[in-house]
Chains A and B, each alone.
Chain A
Amino acid sequence: MRYSIHVNGKEHRIEADPDMPLLWVLRDLLDLKGTKFGCGKSLCGACTVHLNGAPTRSCVTPISAVGAAAVTTIEGIASTQAGRAVQEAWLAVDVVQCGYCQAGQIMSASALLQSQPRPTDADIDRAMAGNICRCATYTRIRAAIKQAAGLPTADSRDKTP
């Protein structure tokens, strides 16, 4: 089938099976390698992109379901204010270890800040629970999200002296 999809503000014409997931269209047909494959079953969040601004797992989203939605990937997220703030905070806090999950983390965090510019720790837990970091950089991801939001980075869950 022929499809026309809108990725990071550009239109792409591609030919793919209707059930080919958006993840593989992005990676192998459009050569946008930033979106990552981790599980193939919407369990790890490494493949997170935005469809019309909503965080979406591209590994289980068939190309036939994308339609005219605006797809934003890690390669294009800097064009949003929240996305750029999140990327900058990620560098300032030095979040990254292996880095493989971080595109997905950044996409989920950017979507969170777009809908909730001042997230609480509970908001962060909810919005980020679907994104696995095998290196477990969660402490710094939490701090970086708050930094991007201009909030104090202390962990409000910590009740110890």
Chain B
Amino acid sequence: MSSRREFLRAGVTLGGGLLLEFSVGLAVPEASRAGPASAPAAAALNAFVRISSDGIVTIMSKNPEIGQGIKTMLPMLIAEELDVDWRDVRIEQAPCDAALYGRQFAGGSRATPLNWEPLRRVGAAGRQMLVGAAAQTWGVSPSECATNSGAVIHTPTRRSLSYGALAAKAAAQPAPDLNHVALKEPSDFKIIGKPHPGVDSPLVVTGKPLFGIDVSVPGMLYAVFVKCPVFGGTVTSANVQAIKSLPGIKDAFVVRGGRDFDGLTDGVAIVAASWWTANKARGKLEVVWDEGAAAGQSSEGFARRAIELSRQEPTLKLYSEGHVDQALAESAAVVEAAYSYPFIAHAPLEPQNCTAHFRNGKVEIWAPTQNPEPGRKIVAKTLDIADSDITIHMTRCGGGFGRRLMNDYMAEAAWISKQAGAPVKLLWTREDDIRHDFYRPAGFHFLKAGLAADGQVKAFRDHFVSFGEGDKFANSAAMTAEEFPSKFVPNLEFGASLMPLGAPTGPLRAPRSNALAFAFQSFIDEMAHAALKDPLQFRLDLLGVRRSFALARSAPGQDPVFDPGRMIDVLKSVRERSAWGRRELPKGTGQGVAFYFSHLGYFAEVVQATVAPGAQLTVDKVWVVGDVGSQIINPTGAENQVQGAALDGIGAALGQAITLKSGRVEQSNFDDFPLLRMPQAPPIDVHFLITDHPPTGMGEPALPPVVPALCNAIFAATGVRIRSLPVDAKLLSAAAAG
């Protein structure tokens, strides 16, 4: 029996639907009924909240912390409605337990929309139980009681009892129906909306072990895992006997894996008493690989094939409205351009790692993962054990960016621990990470637009050449019918042609959007110039008027619409803040603008850039205006996310490309896959418009528009149009020389 309140684990309903998948409940975990022996007695009100007799409130944070600040933000929601002082709150990472906490993942900027209301209800339910306990103690009606800063007050008599004193009795109260607990008015918020620094930051700045790579288990060995440089390649043979005889090496063996990249694939494991020893032995490892079918693939080949395909009809029709050919023929001006962007890697700074301890048919795992439950399934399948025989501890992640939505390292560590018969910490090198990622897919857009004499857009066409098999796009390589300016141009066609790809792809921060924004918002800039219009005003005209467009996909509880009015407002705001068109800029300096809607967030951004003689490109400043709804939950975290997202996009645009040759990745480390550095990082002005919409997420939507805004700024500064990423310095030097 897990809990006496099991039956109360009903989903929280929002907008009339039962959201079982994302539901949070009020079950009490067995283990948390009693606190640690040394601590004051603590009583659990539900799986999220326990209160000790000295008034310290411990709140569980359900989702993985990857740097998005979730371990601070989610507990703020509970603490607010519980009505406690933040200084009395302690936060713990929740165990990985979907039955108690619902889905626990970090992705899609969804923590805010999915938890904004449910977790406040969890806090409010706890408050209601404390009020019930106090009312019972005093023999009064709960309606005569109020709460304030961790105490219940009987308003008529001004009697007061602390939460600490009430905790044990409150835990015995019936759990309230989450759908009928009372929530605060936003004007009464004391925690939400106030800046709260990261709760683990004091541990970070003093170097405490927090990350997956820091995990230590008694008797632990260290492992490296060597995979074929060509994706999907298998081991024919390896000199594992020679490796085993090296000093300090405990074991070395060939691993036979499957075809699924997000699982165990073929490779050679080397296990030693220290990681350094294991990794050093790689220098002596000789593997004969069967490289397989992907060995013939190259980025150059894909680029050539994309041009060939662009001359044919798209094999997939994504969207069609009106008569594009006819409208183009009747247009006063036709704009045509080809855009492309490369594969890129996630490169979170903590290399992939996982610690696993297999014994007696069960496995315990410590993993920096964004998405533990799929990892559990993969490990269960790999080791042929039950889901319930797997315990997963979520550690802090040294960055995620989408890479740790995949759990390949988890399957590898579990297998190696089983084979080695010991707890094992698997750690990849940076080279392993760069060469075995799930890459942001490259893509090619062949765009054409027709303008009327007055500059209005009459026709628009995109032939998107992407990756996939048959009519199925590769992971994160798709485009939908809803890509802007779909529905905003009377004659419009989106078509796609797919090329088979041997390399794995996957979501990278603002998946799809981080690439599509570049192609579309840069091309829209070209259209504006062809129409002899101000690029910002041209966008306002294209967006038109305030109205609602139903979206096929939206998060539960959200407006399932795109409202151009919200985008118009952020554009107008960023025009104001950046003094767009109102300042005389020096020669070689220009401003560019772009907007993008992703992850339910509306963002418009202006970049100012300077290209000096010698082609030295400086990003002078970025202005960001976002509309993510009615409440910025943690303003300091929100600003940090937006600044980071904008700089992330700039870093990718300035230098990042993963290229394939003979089926292998040519890059290997930060010398040939450069990340943004301090001198390149401009000041970033961040502003939010507060609107009457449910709050939405912040990790991703500020990224996509910065890339085209930068490229449009380069055009404004130099007249050079960037149609391929990363920005090619050679193009700029030609402009600077001219």
CB-defined contacts of A113 to chain B, threshold 8 Å: none
Q: Is there an interface contact between A136 and B683, defined as CB atoms closer than 8 Å?
A: no
CB-defined contacts of A37 to chain B, threshold 8 Å: 213, 351, 427
Bound CA–CA A11/B406 (angstroms): 42
User: With an 8 A cutoff between CB atoms, is B288 at the interface?
Assistant: no
User: With an 8 A cutoff between CB atoms, is B573 at the interface?
Assistant: no
Q: Is there an interface contact between A74 and B206, defined as CB atoms closer than 8 Å?
A: yes
Q: Is there an interface contact between B430 and A38, defined as CB atoms closer than 8 Å?
A: yes
Q: Is there an interface contact between A20 and B397, defined as CB atoms closer than 8 Å?
A: no
| Residue among B274, B348, B637 facing the most chain A CB atoms (10 A cut-off) | B274
Bound CA–CA A69/B68 (angstroms): 38
Q: Is there an interface contact between A94 and B195, defined as CB atoms closer than 8 Å?
A: yes
- Smallest distance from the beta carbon of A49 to chain B beta carbons, Å? 10
CB-defined contacts of A100 to chain B, threshold 8 Å: 67, 211, 348-350, 398-399
Bound CA–CA A29/B67 (angstroms): 28
Q: Which of B68, B210, B636, B669 is the one whose CB lies under 8 Å from A41?
A: B669
Q: Is there an interface contact between B348 and A98, defined as CB atoms closer than 8 Å?
A: yes
The answer to whether residues A138 and B647 also contact, given A87-B205, A90-B201 and a CB cut-off of 8 A, is yes
Q: Is there an interface contact between A142 and B678, defined as CB atoms closer than 8 Å?
A: yes
The answer to whether residues A98 and B678 also contact, given A34-B208, A74-B206, A132-B670 and a CB cut-off of 8 A, is no
Q: Is there an interface contact between B201 and A136, defined as CB atoms closer than 8 Å?
A: no
Which A110-161 residues have a C-beta within 8 angstroms of B? 124-126, 128-142, 155, 157-161
CB-defined contacts of A133 to chain B, threshold 8 Å: 349
User: With an 8 A cutoff between CB atoms, is B69 at the interface?
Assistant: yes
CB-defined contacts of B675 to chain A, threshold 8 Å: 44, 132, 134
Which A29-58 residues have a C-beta within 8 angstroms of B? 29, 31-41, 43-44, 46
- Smallest distance from the beta carbon of A100 to chain B beta carbons, Å? 3
User: With an 8 A cutoff between CB atoms, is A7 at the interface?
Assistant: no
Which A64-105 residues have a C-beta within 8 angstroms of B? 73-75, 78, 87, 90-91, 94-103
Which B317-331 residues have a C-beta within 8 angstroms of A? none
Q: Is there an interface contact between A28 and B678, defined as CB atoms closer than 8 Å?
A: no
CB-defined contacts of B180 to chain A, threshold 8 Å: none
Q: Is there an interface contact between A28 and B222, defined as CB atoms closer than 8 Å?
A: yes
CB-defined contacts of A35 to chain B, threshold 8 Å: 207
- Smallest distance from the beta carbon of B612 to chain A beta carbons, Å? 14
The answer to whether residues A91 and B197 also contact, given A41-B671, A74-B206 and a CB cut-off of 8 A, is yes
Q: Is there an interface contact between A138 and B276, defined as CB atoms closer than 8 Å?
A: no
- Smallest distance from the beta carbon of B278 to chain A beta carbons, Å? 11
Bound CA–CA A159/B619 (angstroms): 12
Q: Is there an interface contact between A34 and B644, defined as CB atoms closer than 8 Å?
A: no
User: With an 8 A cutoff between CB atoms, is B58 at the interface?
Assistant: no
CB-defined contacts of B201 to chain A, threshold 8 Å: 90-91, 94-96, 99
- Smallest distance from the beta carbon of B521 to chain A beta carbons, Å? 21
Number of interface residues of A (CB under 8 A): 63
Number of interface residues of B (CB under 8 A): 69
In the complex, which residue of chain A has the Cβ closest to the Cβ of B220? A28
CB-defined contacts of B65 to chain A, threshold 8 Å: 98
Q: Is there an interface contact between A94 and B198, defined as CB atoms closer than 8 Å?
A: yes
User: With an 8 A cutoff between CB atoms, is B50 at the interface?
Assistant: no
The answer to whether residues A28 and B351 also contact, given A36-B213, A41-B671 and a CB cut-off of 8 A, is no
User: With an 8 A cutoff between CB atoms, is B532 at the interface?
Assistant: no
Bound CA–CA A22/B183 (angstroms): 54
- Smallest distance from the beta carbon of A63 to chain B beta carbons, Å? 10
CB-defined contacts of B678 to chain A, threshold 8 Å: 124-125, 128-129, 131, 138, 141-142
Bound CA–CA A142/B351 (angstroms): 25
The answer to whether residues A24 and B66 also contact, given A35-B207, A99-B398 and a CB cut-off of 8 A, is no
CB-defined contacts of A155 to chain B, threshold 8 Å: 683
User: With an 8 A cutoff between CB atoms, is B174 at the interface?
Assistant: no
User: With an 8 A cutoff between CB atoms, is A5 at the interface?
Assistant: no
Q: Which of A96, A126, A136 is the one whose CB lies under 8 Å from B676?
A: A136
Which A1-29 residues have a C-beta within 8 angstroms of B? 17, 19-21, 24, 28-29
CB-defined contacts of B682 to chain A, threshold 8 Å: 157
Q: Is there an interface contact between A97 and B583, defined as CB atoms closer than 8 Å?
A: no
Q: Is there an interface contact between A73 and B67, defined as CB atoms closer than 8 Å?
A: no
Q: Is there an interface contact between B648 and A136, defined as CB atoms closer than 8 Å?
A: yes
Q: Is there an interface contact between A98 and B66, defined as CB atoms closer than 8 Å?
A: yes
The answer to whether residues A99 and B640 also contact, given A125-B679, A134-B399 and a CB cut-off of 8 A, is no
Q: Is there an interface contact between B669 and A136, defined as CB atoms closer than 8 Å?
A: no
- Smallest distance from the beta carbon of B146 to chain A beta carbons, Å? 32
Q: Is there an interface contact between A44 and B349, defined as CB atoms closer than 8 Å?
A: yes
Q: Is there an interface contact between B276 and A134, defined as CB atoms closer than 8 Å?
A: no
User: With an 8 A cutoff between CB atoms, is B216 at the interface?
Assistant: yes
Q: Which of A73, A96, A159 is the one whose CB lies under 8 Å from B620?
A: A159
Q: Is there an interface contact between A158 and B430, defined as CB atoms closer than 8 Å?
A: no
Q: Is there an interface contact between A43 and B671, defined as CB atoms closer than 8 Å?
A: yes
Q: Is there an interface contact between B67 and A99, defined as CB atoms closer than 8 Å?
A: yes
Given A129-B677, A133-B349: 11 more A-B contacts, CB < 8 Å: A17-B277, A34-B209, A43-B671, A97-B641, A99-B211, A129-B679, A136-B681, A138-B681, A139-B647, A160-B578, A161-B583
Identify the 5 closest CB pairs spanning chains A and B, nearest first: A34-B207, A98-B67, A100-B398, A74-B207, A136-B647
List residues of A whose CB falls within 8 A of some B CB.
17, 19-21, 24, 28-29, 31-41, 43-44, 46, 73-75, 78, 87, 90-91, 94-103, 106, 124-126, 128-142, 155, 157-161
List residues of B whose CB falls within 8 A of some A CB.
65-69, 195, 197-198, 200-202, 204-211, 213-214, 216, 222, 274-277, 280, 347-351, 396-401, 427, 429-430, 578-579, 583, 608, 620-621, 636-637, 640-641, 643-644, 647-648, 651, 669-671, 675-679, 681-684
29 contacts between A and B (CB under 8 A): A17-B276, A19-B280, A21-B276, A28-B276, A33-B214, A40-B430, A43-B669, A43-B670, A44-B349, A44-B675, A91-B202, A91-B205, A94-B201, A96-B67, A98-B67, A98-B348, A98-B396, A99-B201, A100-B67, A100-B348, A124-B678, A132-B675, A134-B348, A134-B399, A134-B401, A134-B675, A138-B647, A138-B678, A160-B579
